[in-house]
Amino acid sequence: MDNNCIFCKIVRGEIPSAKIYEDDKTLAFLDIVPVNIGHALVIPKEHFKDIHEVPEDLVGHMMKIVKKVSSALRTSLPCDGVNVNMNNEGAAGQVVFHAHIHVIPRHAGDGFELWHGKRKYQENEMQKVSRKVSLAIA
Ligand code: 5GP
Ligand code: ZN
């Protein structure tokens, strides 16, 4: 637990939230500034900064809950599609430093733009990059 963390305060019930799911390890609630109505956040109840700090089993469990939430958004709200997104660290746009996964209902013409890749690999760069990353995984 982190005394100053806004999501820890939500877990402890010190500030209100619109909860949609809860179990012993995770909590899902509505984002206060939604991209679309129903935009939800899935968080671990324990304080971890980002995906790199969350234990592997717990990330797996969070993804199960993301799927439950996603399916529920799909059937209960105007929702033709869902974006699942996680911002990790400031450079990636993380603002609240308690790990969380966004589950965002989408509908055609909602005007929410995704990023589109524009960069190009130089010759052999893709192979070099994949080798570097795969070595780091091994
Ligand atoms: P991030 O950029 O860190 O991935 O997103 C943090 C999200 O948390 C934002 O979409 C923001 O609207 C949401 N948020 C921040 N403070 C609160 C809060 O007090 N309650 C709720 N429900 N959502 C919050
Ligand atoms: Zn926290």
C-beta of residue 20 within 8 angstroms of C-beta of residue 30: yes
Asked if residue 125 is part of any domain, the answer here is yes
Q: How many CB atoms lie within 10 A of CB 131?
A: 10
Please work out whether the CB of residue 92 comes within 6 Å of at least one atom of ligand 1.
Answer: no
- The rounded distance, in Å, linking the Cα atoms of 42 and 103 is 8
Q: Which residues pair with 104 in a beta bridge?
A: 83
Please work out whether the CB of residue 31 comes within 6 Å of at least one atom of ligand 1.
Answer: yes
- The rounded distance, in Å, linking the Cα atoms of 82 and 105 is 5
Q: How many CB atoms lie within 10 A of CB 106?
A: 19
pLDDT in tens, the chain (138 residues): 778 999 999 999 999 999 999 999 999 999 999 999 999 999 999 999 999 999 999 999 999 999 999 999 999 998 999 999 999 999 999 999 999 999 999 998 898 888 899 999 999 999 999 999 999 998
Question: What CATH number is given to the structural domain containing 13?
Answer: 3.30.428.10
Which ligand is the nearest neighbour of the Cα of 46? 2
Counted domains in the chain: 1
Q: Can you tell me which atom of ligand 1 is nearest the CA of 15?
A: 19
Which two structure tokens, joined as six digits, stand for 61?
């469990």
Residue numbers annotated as active site: 100
Domain that holds residue 61: 6-137
Asked if residue 1 is part of any domain, the answer here is no
